[in-house]
Amino acid sequence: MGIFAAGIAIALQDLIINIAGWLFIMWRRPFEAGDRIEIASHKGDVIDKRLFMFTLMEIGEWVDSEQSTGRIVHLPNGLVFRNSLANYSKGFSYIWNEIPILLTFESNWEKAKELLGKIANEHGEHLSGEAEKRVKRAAKKFMIFYSKLTPIVWTSVKDSGVLLTIRYLCDPRKRRSSEQAIWEDILKQFAQNDDIDFAYPTMRYYDNRREGKPGAGGEEK
């Protein structure tokens, strides 16, 4: 009898965990229908919540920039106890997106940075005011604090050039379209400036004596 009871308990384990998961989802509300979430390597928009499972309209996988794959994925409620859950929509409602632009060392990077700043502001600054309001509302429930919500361009140096990175706020569902609009403006602006070039993988021989600065071992000009 004891073995039979143990077998029944094992057989019903997942069922019980899924019901407990449903109770947790309904009580704590880690996500709602319509939210975009990531859990157990699955990403998507929640389209249904039921007693034993919840359903996602899948995004990502083989599709770039978290666009919909067209597949519907059913996941057991018990996953909320076994995996971390990321919610793109709850609280802040926006995500930070970054676009890296690598320029050659010979480019006028300061001019390029100014152009990128203008482009980023044209596409992202209008969200900053609304985002600030949402942060204030979310801060009442979550420890969310941002000192700067407007777009910014960061500068760093890589092996093959100067890296300028645009960081801006966007709607999670409009990430790809916002990137496309920004990239198209970048391509148009850079095409009009002869002193700005994209860097790409190349091999170059550098003669420090002939090309280097005098103070760094180069010959006097």
Tell me the per-residue pLDDT of 159-197, one tens digit each, with 9 for 90 and over. Answer: 889 999 999 988 888 899 999 999 999 999 999 999 999
pLDDT of residue 31: 95
69-81 pLDDT tens trace? 999 999 999 999 9
pTM, rounded to two decimals: 0.78
In the chain, alpha helices (H)? 2-28, 79-82, 109-138, 175-191, 208-211
**Length, in residues, of the chain:** 221
Domain-wise residue ranges, the chain: 2-87, 95-191
Maximum distance among all alpha carbons in the chain?
97
User: How does the average pLDDT of the chain come out, rounded?
Assistant: 86
Per-residue model confidence (pLDDT) at position 206: 67
Tokens 């929509």 sit on residue: 89
- The CATH code belonging to domain 2-87 is 2.30.30.60
Nearest to 111 by CA among 213, 200, 201, 197: 197
Label residue 218 by pLDDT band (50, 70, 90): low
CATH class of 95-191: alpha beta
In angstroms, rounded to a whole number, what is the distance separating the alpha carbons of residues 49 and 146? 33
Q: CB-based contacts of 149: which residues, under 8 Å, 6+ apart? A: 128, 131, 132, 135, 169
Give the residue among 182, 92, 168, 175 at the shortest CA–CA distance from 126. 168
Q: Which strands sit side by side in the sheet containing 95-103, from one edge to the other?
A: 95-103, 161-170, 152-158
Token pair of 124, please? Answer: 């992202």
Q: Which residue has the higher pLDDT, 37 or 208?
A: 37
